[in-house]
Amino acid sequence: MRVTNNMFPEQLSSQLSILSSRQNRYQSEVATGKRLQSPEDDPAAMRRVLSLQIEAKSITQYRQTMTGLKEEANAALETIKGLKNVSDRAQEIAMRADNTRVNADLQSFASEITQLIQHSVQLANAKYRDDYQFAGTDTSEPPFELQQDADGRITGVVYHGNNSVNQTEIDVQNTITVKVPGVNDTGSGARGLITDSRSGADFIKHLIDLQNHLLSGDIKAIADADRSNLGKDEENLLFHTAANAAMQARLDALSSLASERGTNVQNSVSDEVDADLATTMVQLSQAQYAYQAALQTGSVLLTKSLLDYLR
């Protein structure tokens, strides 16, 4: 093969360019601590990193969702606790009324129960952010509305919500709901907070019954029916308290698992992206040495002529 006079300078220039590029890459890795600067550095690794980053974003979103659900569940629990306090006081009045024969005392008890009814409806119409919590999926208006007669006496309650609840995705193919319908008289689905046909709970109606029996002085009805009915309401509220606690425990466990998984994903990304600084420093030193050697060798060869080799 014929070697022309300009082949060596061209090869030297090409080699110096390669070595310079290698130095720049290693210097960038040392400065940034990152092995991958662009997709062409390692296309296969970059694909793995992009996939891991998508998974990391998904995990972050799921964790944020679970945090929001936990806050909503805590808000619901406060309402349930408030209703339980009403239930405790109503049962106490029902027990005390059994031994009361003074009509004025019964009227006073009835007045207090009326206030407890109003308070219960206020609690059951609680909102979380912009949605009514216990209206099922129809969250745009207050679910419970009290009815009164011409004298202003509470006679009943109307439910404007439904018994459906939305499920929220907290992981791939894994959903949960923190929603509780106020009323469910279908015998299936999510259990109602105020009224549920399976448990016999009908809290506000039972409070209204107690109010009416106190007003009429019907002690027998209070003993035979109201106390038993209020007991069913209490059991239903205890069920919802336990269900809420279990659901929050599940959210805590899943959030912890998601946090661990997120850490593992980030570690995997680091394994792919981060540079091994000790190794990179050695490689940089080798590249710098090779570059300097090429310069020196090229300088010597380019200054020699053919006569130098014939001497």
Burial of residue 26 (CB within 10 Å: 0-12, 13-18, 19+) is buried
Q: Which domains does the chain have, with CATH numbers?
A: 53-266 (1.20.1330.10)
Residue 36 contacts residue 311 (beta carbons within 8 Å): no
Q: What does pLDDT average to in each consecutive run of 10 residues of the chain (311 residues)?
A: 54 58 55 59 74 88 94 96 98 87 88 96 95 94 94 93 94 90 95 96 97 94 95 98 95 92 82 55 54 60 53 52
Distances (CA, A) of 60 to 129, 148, 253, 263: 22, 50, 15, 11
Report residue 192 CA to chain centroid gap.
24
Distances (CA, A) of 130 to 72, 121, 141, 161: 12, 18, 10, 15
* Of the candidates 169, 177, 170, the residue with the CA atom closest to the CA atom of residue 76: 177
- Supply 274's token pair: 């981060």
Q: Is 160 helix (H, G, I), strand (E, B) or coil?
A: coil
Q: Please give the pLDDT value at position 46.
A: 73
Q: Please give the pLDDT value at position 37.
A: 62
The Cα–Cα gap between 268 and 23 comes to: 27
The Cα–Cα gap between 93 and 134 comes to: 27
Q: Please give the pLDDT value at position 193.
A: 97
Report residue 50 CA to chain centroid gap.
24
The Cα–Cα gap between 175 and 167 comes to: 6
Q: Please give the pLDDT value at position 99.
A: 73
